[in-house]
């Protein structure tokens, strides 16, 4: 991709940066650096990093036409395409003006993102309820492939060779406004750079809003852990929030579309405060949001889908997610009740049993009868063991139930997003169903109907890719958490069986012999 430099940029020594001059032409060699930087080569053959805001892409442009209803309430927007009604696989090679007949000096051209210019549809028929809006902008394509697993074929996202991950750790208290306002800052370290960056909760919240705005129509973006008004600086709360932020970030890192996005990479690897602020401003001006995100999705060499068959799969998945949502909520309710019993009345019951054994041992000791010392010692030790078991019961939920509950809390949030995502897809299918009537009444052309069908097909590929992503993650997560839960349960009952210490163990054996 060839770009034009907008401003002079002087490299700092030792930072692998590239000095460029205003008006100079450079070639992008790597767009995936993140943090508001790209790697480029100048005319002298030198390669280095240049701020994205200092350059302008000019030799690669894609133009699309969005199709809206006249009242502006169309829940999905379909984009115009080449003459055949479909995306060109060689999208990056399309010359300027191919789609719209406009040149680079057109009023539609706006450097990075275009601003819509409305115009009347073909034929200028006042009875048509459609308005065509032209959009010009630059984009990277998100590709979808079909793979075969276990004999079943299905669309999947194009996953990277390297799985991104990050660690949220080392919370520290910070202040501003001369100490009048305090906050907790977390250290976030991505596996790609191993260089930590610092973020407050409000930064995570900003990232969530950006991801929801950009991808929410195609990808479920689960909520962050709840905000807290009081107790924000208590150690236990900070630990819990950090753990939940870690879970949320891990889930975002796993998603190939979200994790490779510019805004997510900025969050993980900005260079300094200036870089962070510039990246934020750029992300907040991003116009490829909501349903426009489907314009960046390209099924790789895949045919148009049978929308009736897709609708059936969609409904099946919808039923499954609703049922799973009920099951997850039920498990959370029962788990919370069990946790309360384990930390409340249940240990007290074991303590009462233990105290009763020790009281009985005291009574036996008062008899003065010789030869029962072994029995009374065993009863006393058994009573103390029950007190130990009471403590074990109270501590056990943190060892096993905690991870099970946290995983189900994550899935509760994730499942709550699917109705909206599925709703966008259903609205697209309904639009396609109405297309025949609109063609028959002359409100849209046959070419526009084909375009609608192809856009709906792309949305269906995206939904099925997301369904497969969800199922594969679900299987992995529940395999892992159930294995951990049952292992900890096994250790717990093994400790109860053997006694919490060797003395208690001998006491149980002595009771048996007596």
Residues in the annotated binding site? 200, 202, 241
Q: Where are the alpha helices (DSSP H) in 14-162?
A: none
CB 444 within 8 A of CB 130: yes
Residue 336's nearest CA partner among 408, 246, 238, 387 is 408
Q: Give the CA distances from residue 268 to residues 14, 198, 271, 282, 452, in Å, rounded to whole numbers and listed in that order.
A: 21, 9, 10, 16, 37
Return the structure tokens found at 112: 């990075």
Q: In whole angstroms, how far apart are CA 478 and each of 81, 114, 194, 400, 408?
A: 42, 45, 29, 13, 9
Exposure letters 313-334 (e unless 16+ CB within 10 A, then b): ebeebbeebeebbeebeebbee
Taking residue 420's Cβ as centre, other Cβ atoms within 10 Å add up to 13
Which residues have a Cβ under 8 Å from the Cβ of 284 and sit 6 or more positions away?
Answer: 210
Instruction: Calculate helix-pair angle for 307-343, 401-415, nearest 10 degrees.
Output: 150
What is the three-class DSSP state of 361?
Answer: helix
CA distance from start to end of the chain: 87
Give the angle 32-36-37 at the CA atoms, nearest 5°.
Answer: 60
């Amino acid at each position: 991709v060839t770009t034009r430099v907008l401003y002079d940029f002087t490299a700092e020594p030792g930072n692998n940066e590239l000095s460029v001059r205003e008006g100079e032409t450079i070639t992008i060699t790597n767009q995936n650096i993140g943090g508001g930087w790209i790697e480029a080569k100048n005319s002298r053959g030198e390669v280095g990093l240049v701020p994205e805001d200092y350059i302008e892409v000019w030799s690669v442009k894609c133009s699309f036409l969005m199709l809206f209803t006249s009242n502006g309430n169309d829940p999905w927007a379909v984009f115009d395409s080449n003459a055949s009604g479909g995306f060109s696989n060689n999208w990056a090679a399309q010359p300027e003006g191919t789609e719209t007949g406009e040149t680079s000096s057109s009023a539609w051209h706006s450097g990075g993102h275009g601003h819509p210019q409305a115009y009347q549809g073909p034929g200028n028929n006042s009875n048509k309820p459609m308005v065509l809006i032209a959009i010009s902008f630059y984009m990277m394509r998100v590709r979808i492939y079909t793979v075969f697993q276990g004999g079943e074929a299905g669309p999947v996202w194009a996953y990277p060779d390297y799985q991104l991950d990050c660690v949220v750790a080392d919370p520290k208290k910070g202040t501003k406004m001369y100490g009048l306002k305090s906050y907790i800052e977390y250290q976030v370290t991505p596996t790609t750079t191993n260089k930590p960056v610092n973020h407050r909760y409000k930064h995570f919240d900003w990232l969530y809003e950006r991801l929801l705005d950009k991808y929410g129509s195609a990808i479920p973006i689960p909520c962050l852990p709840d905000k807290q008004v009081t107790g924000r600086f208590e150690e236990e709360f900070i630990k819990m929030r950090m753990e939940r932020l870690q879970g949320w970030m891990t889930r975002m890192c796993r998603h190939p579309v979200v994790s490779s996005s510019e805004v997510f990479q900025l969050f993980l690897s900005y260079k300094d405060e200036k870089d962070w602020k510039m990246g934020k401003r750029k992300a907040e001006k991003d116009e490829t949001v909501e349903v426009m995100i489907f314009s960046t999705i390209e099924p790789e060499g895949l045919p148009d889908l049978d929308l009736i068959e897709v609708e059936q799969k969609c409904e099946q998945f919808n039923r499954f997610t609703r049922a799973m949502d009920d099951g997850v909520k039920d498990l959370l309710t029962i788990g919370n009740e069990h946790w309360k019993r384990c930390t409340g009345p249940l240990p007290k019951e074991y303590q009462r049993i233990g105290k009763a054994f020790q009281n009985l041992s005291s009574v036996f000791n008062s008899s003065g009868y010789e030869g029962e010392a072994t029995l009374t010692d065993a009863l006393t030790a058994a009573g103390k063991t029950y007190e130990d078991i009471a403590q074990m019961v109270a501590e056990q939920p943190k060892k096993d139930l905690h991870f099970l509950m946290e995983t189900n809390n994550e899935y509760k949030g994730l499942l709550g997003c699917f109705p909206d995502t599925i709703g966008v897809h259903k609205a697209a299918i309904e639009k396609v169903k109405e297309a025949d009537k609109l063609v028959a009444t002359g409100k849209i052309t046959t070419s526009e109907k084909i375009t609608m069908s192809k856009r709906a097909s792309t949305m269906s590929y995206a939904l099925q890719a997301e369904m497969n992503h969800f199922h594969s993650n679900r299987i992995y997560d529940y395999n892992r958490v159930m294995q951990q839960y049952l292992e900890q349960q096994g250790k717990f009952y093994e400790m109860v069986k053997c006694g919490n210490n060797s003395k208690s163990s001998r006491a149980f054996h002595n009771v048996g012999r007596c």
